[in-house]
Structure 1
Amino acid sequence: MSERVERLKRLAYIPQKEIGWLLEQAELADKQRAIIEEHQRQQDIAVNQFRQVQQDIRRLSGESSRYKKALQQVIKNLQFTIRAAENELEGENS
């Protein structure tokens, strides 16, 4: 950008007022570019965070499923053990 500014300053036939306006526009465009780049960077970060959260949800859902199945198996085993104990007690009482 500084090359453009220097080139504009060397052009004698452009009135000083217009050069000032052009410089302001160039500075504004540079600021806008910086803002756009920062927004893009923040958007990239948000996308990466979203993807990470999606992966975490899938992983946690899988773990939840495994724990649920394991808990169901423990309950079945406990029910079987309780029935066996009840049958033993009934056999002793007869």
Structure 2
Amino acid sequence: MKERIERLKKLTYIPQNEIAWLIEQAELSVKQQEIIEENKRQQEVTVHQFRQAQKDIQQLSGDRKRYKQALEKIITNLTFAITVAQNELEGDVK
């Protein structure tokens, strides 16, 4: 393609078939540029979605940690309450 372009630059008269080829190449170039721009846009969307997913995962991890700590406190309190209740029952039986 470069050779053909260089040859065309040297001509003073450009035949119709060569003009058609140039137009075709220009149209292809425009289509390629549109594809490149669309790919960049899609890449930006994907990066944004990935970053949002990372934030969501961090938030869920924090939530999970807080829920786990709360559940451990509840279990500790229930275990204590059960122990107190068992001691009271044993005291009533004696």
Output the TM-score relative to the length of structure 1: 0.86
Greater relative contact order (CA < 8 Å, ≥ 6 in sequence): 1
Matches for 1:39-54 after TM superposition, within 5 Å: 39-54=39-54
Q: Which moved more, 1:12-21 or 1:51-60?
A: 12-21
Runs (4+) of structure 1 exceeding 4 A deviation are none
Output the TM-score relative to the length of structure 2: 0.86
Counterpart position of 1:34: 34
Q: How many correspondences in the alignment?
A: 84
Question: Helix, strand or coil: the match of 2:14?
Answer: coil
Describe the superposition over 1:8-54 as per-residue Cα deviations: whole angstroms up to 9, x where unpaired: xxx97111111110000000000000011001101100010000001
CA distance, structure 2, for counterparts of residue 18 and residue 66 of structure 1: 72
Counterpart position of 2:83: 83
Counterpart position of 2:92: 92
Q: Provide the alpha-carbon RMSD of the alignment.
A: 1.3
Counterpart AA for 2:31: K
Counterpart AA for 1:52: Q
1:68 paired with 2:68, answer: yes
CA distance, structure 2, for counterparts of residue 37 and residue 91 of structure 1: 80
Counterpart position of 1:5: none
Following TM superposition, by how much is the alpha carbon of 1:92 offset from its aligned partner in structure 2, in angstroms? 1.0
Describe the superposition over 1:40-73 as per-residue Cα deviations: whole angstroms up to 9, x where unpaired: 1011000100000010000001001100110010
Q: Identity of aligned pairs, percent?
A: 60
